[in-house]
Chain A
Amino acid sequence: MDQVLTIKKSTEAGLIDLLTYLLKNKKVSGVCSLRKTKKQGKFDYALITDPELLHDVVPLHPLMPVNAGKMLSNMIKMEMPVAAVIKPCELRSFIELVKRSQGKLENFLLISYTCGGALPLTATVENKVDTMLPDYGKTVAAGNEFEHIREICKACEYFVPFNADATVSLLGETGADSTCKIFLHSDKAKEILQGFEVEKTEDEFDRTGYDQIRERRKKYKEELFKQIKIQDTGLDGMIDVFGRCIGCHACSRVCPICYCVLCDFESSTYDYDNTIMEQELSRKGGLRLPSDTILYQIGRLSHMSFSCIGCGQCTEVCPSDIPVSVIFRKCGEKVAEIFEYIPGRDVNEQVPVTIFKEEEFEEIGEE
């Protein structure tokens, strides 16, 4: 049974009250949330320890300058938990990282929300966030799709958080601008907020109650996936899709699942002796430099695509406008399906790469 907190304020204001309570009463050592910066129209993630500074936070803004899961994984040693307000996909990526020993769940009180999608980075760059927000709020409250969110968000069917300690109800919550509804799922959350004096009732959070939205998203996903044709055309197709890749590895950098300190494809393993490259040159008559841009993509696909949670950061940063997130989600899902695996769903669910058996998938080789 979940505990439901109802605060007679806008959802954002109510959440801020909760965070203020936690910080003022030293229930948490800090709050990790989006906030307004000194520059008008600009936002960043922050770790806040002074409750007076909480008036700047905008925890529910549909922005993702960086994937918060990646940030949380860097916080290893903590005396007391930090309350973090993050999106469902960021939370899923954090769970994926926890599975790989790159983060500790006990360090956080994880607060998430039903997500109506994130705006692209350009919205902040062009200072359009403040003007878009009212429309965004209304559209999401009505359970509709805001046209300016990221393409990959329009294809996301996991907008209800898994593994949150608490969930803030936003999507389809028609009274969101006057009433704040927060569901406490875990004992940790209930205990920490025991002294938080607001209306508390018992209710079960209905995960299934968003089927219409889910169907809409799945349909969009199918359309989006159709645009990427790699599976039909093999290597030639790969060159068409990744031909303009410049090997900057920005996608890997911002990807929460890519946690390696030194990517294998950046290590000296792929620094060939030029006598070897000369042989290749003689064989083919021409050699692309720098080499291995496609290999890097295939490599990254095989290393992490089944854990891809579709946050879209990779597409946002790609200088060549390659729809990386769509490609990786498409490939990743196909592989994950075979294992009935959903990334970020369950911290005890093992990563496919650690559980597949020698005798499996022999049919793929035969094809």
Chain B
Amino acid sequence: MEHWPVGMAILVVLLFLGVPIAFALASVGLVGVVAIIGWSPSLALLGSVFFDNGRDYSLSVLPLFLMMGNFVVQSGIARELYESAYAWLRHRKGGLAIATVVACGAFSSVCGSSLATAATMTKIALPSMRRYGYPDQLSTAAIAAGGTLGILIPPSVILVFYGILTQQDIGRLFLAGLIPGVIGVIGYSIAVRLSMRFQGIDLQTESKLPLMDRIRALKSTAGALALFTFVMGGIYLGVFTPTESAGMGAAGAFVLVILKRQFSVQATLAVLFDTMKTTAMMFFILFGALTFTNYVNMSGMTQDIQSLITGLTNSPLGFIVIVLCIYLALGCVLESLSMIMLTVPVFYPIAANLGIDLIWFGIFVVMVTEISYITPPVGMNAFVLRSVVPDVRLGTIFKGLVPFVFMDVLRIALLTAFPVLVLFLT
């Protein structure tokens, strides 16, 4: 009997009523499983989903990477990254906006969250760009788009979740995100120039700094560079596992806080409290998604969707295009983490069947998710910006983002045509 469409419909209704995503998933998953295998086994399953997964050693990376990101924000290195990027780019047209994109990329290499990257960079980059007469449409778009790199350039909280859901090596996923991230920085820099041309923005530039001054400006990035090299180098050389790298990275970020003289008991307690809250929030969504996944697997939904898609196309490329469209549509409704948790369990077996490399697929999923961060109506990064600078209209931000989204689509096409760009580091 096919009752998964009913289950999906109920889930959508619950979500739109405003039931927290975690509990909507868990309740529909539980009731669905009960309908298939009966009360007693499904209730037993529920207890073990919540308790056993909560004690999964490999999941300990999440709170530790979150903690690392929060400490990095507290350390205040974002400003230094921004200043040294500007020292190198100030003589170029739109230099401040390009420096913003570059600094976002650099900050992403020590922070695994897009929202934290966007929130931090807004406070630092937006006032400078306003002072130099950059129109809000360009400056907010550069920050919102640059912020999305947070989940692509390792470490990345989203890639951790993907790795857990698909049982792929998190270290390999991290390495695979590096080059697409750098391509993203280049693409967004081009998008800055495109915006300037199409919006007829003319900005004055400053004189070029002497080489020695520029090199001196790099000195202040040492902390971030050291932390990134430490974490990624450790994973790459196998000195520690990806799981351990999170703990080492968090400790490294804490040392950075102390070295930058930003330590205070109050602020540290707030960071820890915040980390714990985000951890609980994310894990309960994960538990809900796992409960729901049990239902998805038992109900035959994966097979049905698979035959639906293979009925439409049999080529991996066709599948990728379909998935891209589904994600763009879902991104209009769902926030990114829930979108990944809901869809990846359904899509990744199909991708594997079609012979698509699951590491590549992970990077693809993250890049599509990045687009959902900056497109209306649920563009989280635009919301973050808006709450820092309430006087900018959401419409202005989204309009400014058009060239950046265009570059995103181009990047996805590029990496689909040349998967080696993703895979050759891994």
Interaction A to B = no
B residues lining the A interface (CB < 8 Å): none
A residues lining the B interface (CB < 8 Å): none
